[in-house]
Structure 1
Amino acid sequence: MTENRKDETELYESILNESIQEFEETHSHSEKEQKRIIKKGKNTAIRTNILISLAVLLLIVPVLTLSTYLYYAIGGKANNAIDVAAKTIYVTEPNMSLEEMEIESDIGFFSMSITFDVFKRIGREDYKAGDYEIYFAFDSPSFPERRMLLDRPMQEIPTIDTEWLVHPNASDPIGRSGEWNILKNLPDGTVGEVYLSLTELVEPKELEEKLGKEVQVRWLAVDTGFEEKQVDNEGVPVGVIGYPAQIDSTTWSPFNGREQSNEEVFMDILNLLEKNEETATKIARSKSLVLSERIAYLKEHGTQVYGAVVTGPVPELRKLENNELIRSIKVGEVKLWNWK
């Protein structure tokens, strides 16, 4: 009986061993095959991760783009940034204008860049003076990238010694003789742009009367209480501000004369820039605008000018040397005859 059980046990063990051996032979893989399987699994996992990442990105990009457009649209942030940039040019860049309808904007991820051309009136025609590109991260602008096409550009960031328009009571770094000699040696058949610094403060209308009709006054430099010492309370140079002397009939210009005088538009622009002074200061060449103090001064003392930009035939501009109102000049751009 015992022997029968022993035989049965040995039979079961034999069958079990054969089954295990058969299973191992059927399901075993070589080392090479195992590496291939592992590599295939890794590649599959990588492809899956890439596809998932692409799907997430494709979802995020339109969401971020839409969010950016909504950010600049709500409250008119984009339009306000463009408006501030354009009007800063009008009141801080002598004899400079732009076509607001031609300003281009490009929206990125919570950023915006605007580009526009600027123009100068020399004689009877407007000439492209260069172009600006300003990058905004949210509402904060970078310093503008200026690409100017001028023969005699103004200093990128003006200082006391490089300012072209000088108050009657301020030291004059320009001097008379050198610039007058430049004007005298220009050909008669040309038109030019000249920056005039005056011997005294005058009313805008009085200035035009004293200069005569042979030249055209293009831009007025306004006394705001800081031009005499030429620096703000912290010693930072304060740049010139002013406004166009002539009505601009183009529909996009704020100085189109339809509802307000140029002087009234000038004050409205200063009030706008005061509310956006950080942006205006970045865009302007001057790094201190002190607008609240200047606005208060103008409200108390009214508008008087200490300098101007004029244009006309070079022979007529030479005659200004005999005008007692003119303290010094700076010759700007010169073009071929176009005085019709």
Structure 2
Amino acid sequence: MDKDDVLNEWTEEENKVDKKSAKKLVWRTRISITFTVIRTLLAILLLYIVYMIPTSIYYDTSGKADEFNRVVTTMVELRYPGIAVDLHETWHAAEITPFLTQKTTLPIYRQVGEWKVAVGEVTASKSILFGKINYSVDLDNKYIDEGEMGFALSSYALHDKPATPPSNPNPSPLFDQLEKIDDGHVAQVSFSTRERMEPEQLRKIISKYDVEIHQMPIYAGELKAFNVGMSSSGSLTWVDGLLLRPFIEYDDKNRWSSKNHALTRQEDLAHAVDQFYQDLEWLIEHGDYYDKETDEKRLSYLKENELAVYGATVTGPIREIERLKEEEMFYEFNLGGIEVWNWE
């Protein structure tokens, strides 16, 4: 064997040793990095648990979760015609994120006859440290371009008793639809009144019919004492107003303890009117939301003027709903929903 062959053999052996060493080094490095990543992730997870467990416990035990649910429930039910929040879900729905943002998702329903028909949910969030409440109401509409229920302010209702009353509006096309439906159904409808009136006055008119009252829109100085969001068509104006709802009682920890079913009885309506002022004052004091200044103006107006309403949301048998067209005071009917018979 000559010197060149020996040298080549040594070189090959040395390269094999270098490759093996390099592979071992690569695998050691990979394993080391893997364990470092795992340790880091475990440390982050441990810190997250150590941080979130006491934070969540404090959030739940301090009453912040129940207060946030109450704020969201009150905001929605005072503003959205025809729907209500399922209060049974407000006991445990709110939560706190690692970035100290409150979040909640609550189911909403329509009262159609004796049915509580699930129609969507409200989602809300708010940073504890800063910012205002952001919320959205998502309805499970059945039809394309399905409109929302609402209430119209006629020029007669908007102003203080003009000398000439408005002409009798045309019957709503809704009743042509109801005529085609048999007796074994119940419906939810909203309607407006041609003038403002005291809640008890409207309740007495509606009491002639076998229906339940669940909401009444309140006139709180909109477009007269101050401006709000609105749309108009002819002599009619739709405003984003507040609603009178059935009484809800909360305990000192902001958890609901009792609830009236409707505004149909005189004592329940009177109770709801008293509670409305308390709810609005509480919402202004504890809520940080975009319409807060407007609600302050509404509350100021209502304290200086008698509470007046200009419509209602009701539910009952189809034939009783049809009879409502007998009242010349009622117009601008909107259908909320129809279900099979469930009525006592």
Would you call these one fold, judging by a TM-score over 0.5?
yes
Kept in 2: contact 1:219–1:243 (CA 8 A)? yes
- Show the 5 A alignment for 1:255-270: 255=260, 261-270=271-280
The equivalent of 1:226 in structure 2 is 222
CA distance in 1, matches of 2:207, 2:77: 24
1:165 maps to 2:151 = yes
TM-score by length of 2: 0.71
Q: Name whichever of 210-219 and 139-148 sits farther off.
A: 139-148
Structure 1 residues 41 and 154, CA gap change in structure 2 (3 angstroms): same
CA distance in 1, matches of 2:142, 2:223: 26
Q: Name whichever of 129-138 and 84-93 sits farther off.
A: 129-138
The equivalent of 2:18 in structure 1 is 31
- Residue in structure 1 matching 2:135, options 123, 139, 143: 143
Where is the strand percentage greater, Structure 1 or Structure 2?
2
Q: Name whichever of 296-305 and 208-217 sits farther off.
A: 208-217
CA distance in 2, matches of 1:152, 1:202: 35
Question: Could you tell me how far 1:142 is from its partner in structure 2?
Answer: 4.0
The equivalent of 2:315 in structure 1 is 311
Kept in 2: contact 1:238–1:289 (CA 8 A)? no
Kept in 2: contact 1:197–1:307 (CA 8 A)? yes
CA distance in 1, matches of 2:198, 2:337: 26
Question: Could you tell me how far 1:101 is from its partner in structure 2?
Answer: 3.1
Q: Name whichever of 237-246 and 197-206 sits farther off.
A: 237-246
1:105 maps to 2:94 = yes
CA distance in 1, matches of 2:128, 2:68: 10
Structure 1 residues 263 and 47, CA gap change in structure 2 (3 angstroms): same
- Structure 1 unaligned blocks of 5 or more: 1-27, 156-161, 282-286
Partner SS state of residue 320, structure 2: helix
Kept in 2: contact 1:68–1:108 (CA 8 A)? no
- Structure 2 unaligned blocks of 5 or more: 1-13, 159-165, 232-237, 250-255, 262-266
TM-score by length of 1: 0.71
Kept in 1: contact 2:56–2:95 (CA 8 A)? no
CA displacement, residues 272-293 of structure 1 (integer Å, 9 cap, x when unaligned): 22235544x5xxxxx7881011
Amino acid at match of 2:123: E
Structure 1 residues 97 and 65, CA gap change in structure 2 (3 angstroms): same
The equivalent of 2:185 in structure 1 is 190
Percent identity between matched residues is 20
CA distance in 1, matches of 2:259, 2:101: 27
Structure 1 residues 293 and 153, CA gap change in structure 2 (3 angstroms): farther
Matched residue count = 296
CA distance in 2, matches of 1:52, 1:247: 51
- Residue in structure 1 matching 2:59, options 72, 84, 101: 72
- Show the 5 A alignment for 1:75-94: 76-94=63-81
Where is the helix percentage greater, Structure 1 or Structure 2?
1
Amino acid at match of 2:228: D
Structure 1 residues 197 and 288, CA gap change in structure 2 (3 angstroms): farther
Question: Could you tell me how far 1:210 is from its partner in structure 2?
Answer: 1.8
Structure with larger Rg:
1
Amino acid at match of 2:281: N
Q: Name whichever of 316-325 and 46-55 sits farther off.
A: 46-55
Kept in 1: contact 2:82–2:149 (CA 8 A)? no
1:201 maps to 2:196 = yes
Structure 1 residues 41 and 316, CA gap change in structure 2 (3 angstroms): closer
The equivalent of 1:333 in structure 2 is 337
Q: CA RMSD in A?
A: 3.8
Structure 1 residues 178 and 39, CA gap change in structure 2 (3 angstroms): same
